[in-house]
Each structure stands twice: as structure tokens, then as C-alpha cells.
Structure 1
């Protein structure tokens, strides 16, 4: 089995300019409530988009499907992939164990994930997010889910060294309203959320967005529901021959952003790093002395 490299919504986005006005209207409805919007009957979908049923069929064919039922089959496959449990995910990657060393097999998958992630990344969006993260006039908040907490920690630890005014949200969702109190139109909230998406993160993103906060989402190829509240969304391929998803492709983007932000703020960052090192030295931390 190989990772899925293109979703229905990506096909829609790629074909958008070639669609007729009525087809673009339909595409907009599909993307607004993706993927569930495309799983309703053809009549309901057509009515929701104020188009005819033949328009739905034509657009499905323009996207490369034999018809609307085939498009719905693809959407159902995406939904099934999103909700796979860890054991089921591992079973789906059963291969010839004697084919190659497990390390090589995993590395090849990870490289494929990174390559396809890079192929479809919006570099303009990358630049815009790097600018946001480098702007110290914009308070930065970071949070992750049960699995992606470590990814959020990694971004926070580096951003906190590079620039001031960075906050990592606490582990308990019960205290998040206290952070939301200080968030406003100037704030940036970075959220990490991959499949088996977490409802409390989606609620956090929704409330933050309603307060004018700029939400930046790091998610998988299917896309967390948080994307509806996010200003910027990075999609990374995560499937791997394991019970657990791989966040290596996601971390590639994170590390590239860290490097870009540090470069943009090098003079100020250099001063902060030097001051931090002086503190470590004066307190003899990490020197093995009691």
C-alpha cells in the first residue's frame, strides 16, 4: 500500500479555474462542508448549491470520476482513512517482511510523504506564516493534541528563544478560556491536529477565530475540521507502515519555518540567544555540577 497523494478537495482546487461559474458555485459548497457535503444525495447537493443535477455529474467527470457515485466512493474512502484506529492502520501496511530492512522501508515512506507534501505546499502561504511568526507585535500561542503535543512543544521551544511574547497553552482544555481572554485581532494561534481529530481543539479554534485571532493549522492530508476556522492550513502526508501516523513531513515545514523566522529576526534573535547562554553559564546549568 502507498500513501494517498491527492484528495477530492485537492482535485477540486486544482481544477477550479477550468470550472464553469455554476460548477465553481458547486465546488464552493463541497469545500465548505468537506467531505460530508459530498456524501448527501445528488439532489440535495444540487439544491444546496442552487445548480442542476447534470451540473453535479459534469463536475464529477471533470475531476476524473466516472460520475457522482464514483466521487462519493472516493470521499467515503477518505472518511474511512481518517477514522482508522492504530491497529487497523498497521494492518493496512502489511508487506513482505523479507523485501527490505524495516528501517529502509519506513524511511522510504517518510521520504515519499515529505516529497508529496512539498510538491503541493503553497510557498506564498509559507512566507505569510513566517512573517506572522516573526512579528513580535503579534502575541503567539501554540497548542497541540494528544499525539501532536510534542510537535507543538518543539515549535514553542524554538519560537520562545527566537522572539518574545510566545505562550504554550496548558495540557488541560479546562484552562484554555483563560488564554482566550488575552487573545485578540493581533494574536496568532498555531494548532496541531491530525486524524482522530480532537473536538476540544476545534472548539478552541472556533472561539479564537470569532475573536479575530489568526489561526494557523498544521494537519494531515485529509484536513482537520479546524481548517474551517483557520486562516492558513498546512497539510502533510502522515501515513506510515505503523500503528501510528508519522509527523516527519509536518516537522519538515515546522523546522523550515523556524529557520526562516530566525533568519528574519537574526540580529534580535542573536542577542536573545547570547543572553540565554549567559544565564545558563551563570547558573551552571547542564554542566553536571551540584
Structure 2
């Protein structure tokens, strides 16, 4: 007989729900991120074990639980166990590994759709970015393709979109140049594993007076320390490399909000592009 304890897998999204709407300090974000990353076992860890995993002090874990409204960490752990034990089942159940990975992306998109039930936050982000001339778009490493994808379409409705997709000393130069040219806001794409250079760039951008909108994977992402508006979209982690389906959808939703913030300008630029494309015969259809 096998007496080994089998721990049910708590969905990270359900653990994330425990932190919704709460402004966390950098240390508290580390603890929250740790609990999400170890969602399957978090409900069975002691405060000391969580502190060790998050590389914080044990009192910090206690203060974190109190900040969430619990009497202490044991009460938070009981709630984590409730989340684990009442899991109604995962939408990824059944099928092979590849099918489960794709179905998990459907769940990520459903969660994103729920977040958009109140469009005020995304509308505010769109209005903020629409008025920035130029509009710098930051995306390093895994986020670079997402930044380029967004910028390709954004350039059809915005007169000056600048992609910042390489790090090093040149990144700081380009941030300074964008600010000197009149930029008032920055769009940042920051995805796991959260490049250190991205966070350094956000710090510099904030210190330079740029207002930051960030697309990231979680409300407890490290970008929350620097961004004025954080727009989370879950990243798929069921394959060897992450799937960015929901962040890509969110990027296009944000671009729609930019168009809605200045519809006449967007329409004028789109018509000008279509006329130019027809004249140059850019497309077959």
C-alpha cells in the first residue's frame, strides 16, 4: 500500500484571486508570487518554509497574511487548503499533453475576458498611451516579439511608435531620447522570467517622468512596483516554453482602446495607410 501524501494541484489562478485588489509591497509581492508558483503545495507549507522559498523573513510572511485580512499565516494556509480541496476540476482534464496545453490557453482567455467586464481600466490605459508622442514600447527577451507585434499595428494609428527590444546602455539612451522628444508614457511588456534589464528600464522611465502601462502575466508581477497601470494576462506553462496567447490578445485589446481614445485620428491614419498600400500594391487582397 502506498501511504505517500498526494497533494491536489491548486490552480494558480484561484490562488491569485486571494490577492485581488490589494496593493502589495515588493516583499509581499515576492511572497504572493512564491505561493502562486508553488500553488500545488503552498497550502501544506509552514510560514518558515514559505519564507525560505520566497527568501524573506518569517515575520514578513505573517505580516503578509495579516495584510490580506487574516489573523495570521495559519488562517491564510487554511484558506489555501480550501482553495485546493474545493477545486472543481481543471479545464485541461482529458486528452493528451498537447491538447491540455491548448485547452489551458482557452481558460487563460476566459479569465482575461472576465477581467474586461469593467472596461474602465483598459480605456484609461488606452487614453494614456494615445496622447504620448512618441510612444515607446518596451519588450526584452521573450517579450520582444509581443512588443514588435503590437508596434506593427500601432504604427498604423499612431504617428511615432518606438520599439525598445534590446538591452544594454543603448536602452537607457533610447529612453532618454524618447522622453526628450516629448514622450509622456511607456508601454512595457514584461513576461516571465522578468529580465532584470526590463525592471531597471522601468525604474529609469519612472524616474524620468514617464507614466507606465505594463502588460504582464500576473497582478503580483514585479512590474507592479513601477507601473501606474498593470494589465495582467496569464501565460501558459504547460509546454517546454511558455505560451503567450492571452498577453497577445490583451495587447490587441489595448490597441483598440488607443484607437477608441482618439477615433478621428485613428480613422484618418488608417485611411491614409490604406491609400498608400493600394498605390504601392502592397497586398494581394
TM-score with structure 2 setting the length = 0.70
Displacement of 1:239 in angstroms is 2.7
Aligned residue number for residue 82 of structure 1: none
1:285 aligns with 2:282: yes
Deviates more, 1:178-187 or 1:55-64: 55-64
The Cα shift of 1:116 comes to 2.1
C-alpha change, 1:198 and 1:12, in structure 2 (3 Å) is same
Q: Residue 228 of structure 1: CA displacement?
A: 0.9
Cα deviation, residue 66, structure 1:
2.8
Aligned residue pairs total 242
Distance 1:266 1:36, change over 3 A: closer
C-alpha distance in 1 between matches for 2:166 and 2:231: 23
Contact preservation (8 Å) 2:135, 2:185 = yes
Matched, 1:150 2:171: no
Q: Aligned to 1:11, which of 1, 6, 18?
A: 18
* Distance in 1 between residues matched to 2:209 and 2:154, nearest whole Å: 22
> TM (normalized to structure 1)?
0.69
Query: Is the contact between residue 108 and residue 235 of structure 2 (CA under 8 Å) also seen in structure 1?
Result: yes
Distance 1:63 1:266 in 2: 50
Distance apart, 1:263 and its partner CA: 3.5
Q: Where does residue 211 of structure 2 map in the other structure?
A: 214
Specify which of 103, 113, 116 is matched with residue 111 of structure 2: 116
Offset, 1:133: 2.4
Contact 1:110 1:240 in 2 (8 A): no
Q: CA RMSD, aligned part only?
A: 3.5
Of 193, 196, 204 in structure 2, the residue corresponding to residue 196 of structure 1 is: 193
What pairs up with 1:157-196 in 2 under 5 angstroms? Answer: 157-184=152-179, 186-196=183-193
Structure 1: which 5+ residue stretches go unaligned? 17-27, 47-52, 75-94
CA–CA separation in structure 1 for the residues paired with 2:71 and 2:105: 28
1:1-290 matched pairs, under 5 angstroms: 3-7=11-15, 10-14=17-21, 31-36=25-30, 39=51, 40-43=56-59, 45=60, 62=70, 66-67=74-75, 70=77, 99-100=94-95, 104-120=99-115, 123-135=119-131, 137-184=132-179, 186-221=183-218, 223-286=220-283
Q: For structure 2, which runs of at least 5 residues remain unmatched after alignment?
A: 1-8, 33-50, 82-91
Q: 2:65 touches 2:73 (CA, 8 Å); kept in 1? A: no
